[in-house]
Amino acid sequence: MTHPTNTDSSTPTAQDGAATELVVDVGPIAHGGHFVARHEGRVIFVRHGIPGEKVRVRLTDSGESSRFWRADVVDVLEASEDRTRHFWALADSLAAWRKGGPPVGGAELGHITLERQRLLKSEVLAEQLKRLAGVELNVDVELASASEPADGGSGLGWRTRASFGVTPGGRLGMHAHRSDVVIPVHEMPLALPGINELRLWDIDLHGISRVEVAAPANGSRPLVLLAPEEGTDARRLNRILGQLPHEVSVASFDPAGGEVLQLRGRTWVQESAAGHEYRVTGEGFWQIHKDAPDTLVGAVTSFLHDGGYLLPGSAVADLYAGAGLFTAPLADMAGVTGSVLSVEGSPGTSRDARKNLHGEPQVEIVQGRVERVLRQRPRSFDSLVIDPPRAGAGKAVVNQLIESGPRAIAYVSCDPASFARDLGYFQNRGWRLESLRAFDLYPHTHHLETVALLVPAA
């Protein structure tokens, strides 16, 4: 961990009888969207600050026996030149706490200029690579698309997916960070216009615990998923249905079991990327940023093709394949004389991949956990593409990947810590990092996406 800075020597002050406020100097960014400070030797993870600032923070998670505390900035005493007005009052920590409550999550870097956000994300990536893999490398975080303005524009209106809670009063809301508190919302500035235009905040959502929305970047029919509370009957669902625009598909879903039931229209959306059309059902995984699919496909195929690892006749595998975002372009490049194994654990998403790739005879779709499929169907590959969940692939899977004998692996990751850890596992088996790119696919949040090319060291 990067060393924190020392704080002002002020003593804690209690506010409203319970909350404690401190004055601290904000130190470097840490993985997870917070910044490191100290008070009397104790580490405090501070959100909504900028390195170098002097701020007043409100402790949100503390205890004398805790190894560290958590806090939100409530006042800026000495501001960074990179501080800017937050685009969303509900996510602005200063404005929210002035009104007596925490900000909504999901836009924790919105008070920082986009250029500085990318520099901070680059610092996080470099720190994780050094700490977990022993690799000293600084990588610039690129814009999501080459078509974006050089300064990144506003960083708004990019989300094709949005997840909402419901307040006890039946109104659409979002959670505060690390909290069960649901805060009513009347806009979602990071979402595509197609999501905001649904005006879900005007609907009485009594009987619903959660709402998921997918609005494809190609402008095709959006899908609203409603998670009913136990005991919610069909009449209540029909009343909600009647308040939604007729052209919107609506389905109910069970967050625990993943079952999706049609209420109106389709239970899936139609996505477009890399010259292909994709059906994605319910909560099935798809990249959130409107430009992410094309950007990531371009990075992966360029690494593999330019290195001579993906050519006509190649045997390749797409692991954690989802609905087949990478599988389809891999099949294009391997051609009918090649082969592509596509492995996805989710039954529903694997069915989508089967429908999306049904006209590609060189593609084999297998539903199952990656480690089980590799163990039960051992084979050799020229190259692999892996896009694991946030937790990463893990040591056992890394060993299985290497044992399949590929000449190269393209590793797509949404978490620099799990990627760096897995990179260490690869290095321990005699592999090395050949190339690495990073993309700002989540502006105004701490998240970033990386695409790495891994090859045997010898």
| pLDDT tens digit sequence for 258-286 | 789 999 999 999 999 999 999 999 888 99
Contact 431, 454 (CB under 8 A): yes
Which is the catalytic residue, given 211, 273, 414, 423?
414
Active site residue 414: yes
Contact 328, 353 (CB under 8 A): no
Contact 239, 257 (CB under 8 A): no
Average pLDDT along the chain, 458 residues, taken 10 residues at a time: 40 53 97 96 96 97 87 98 98 96 96 98 98 98 88 92 97 94 97 97 96 96 96 93 94 87 96 97 92 98 97 98 98 97 95 95 97 92 97 97 97 98 98 98 98 95
Assign 3-class secondary structure to 228-281: ECCCCCHHHHHHHHHHCCCCCEEEEECCCCCCEEEEECCCEEEEEECCEEEEEE
The pLDDT of residue 15 is 45
Total Cβ atoms within 10 A of residue 238: 11
Closest CA to 344 of 364, 315, 314: 364
The pLDDT of residue 6 is 40
The pLDDT of residue 18 is 54
Contact 211, 201 (CB under 8 A): no
The pLDDT of residue 357 is 97
Total Cβ atoms within 10 A of residue 335: 13
State how far the Cα of 213 lies from the Cα of 200, in Å rounded to an integer: 10
| pLDDT tens digit sequence for 120-166 | 999 999 999 999 999 999 999 999 998 888 777 899 999 999 999 99
Say how far residue 385 (Cα) sits from the centre of its chain: 18
Three-state SS for 109?
coil
What tokens does 364 get?
A: 């084999």
What tokens does 310 get?
A: 């993906």
Closest CA to 309 of 451, 407, 430, 410: 407
The pLDDT of residue 2 is 40
What tokens does 171 get?
A: 């109104």
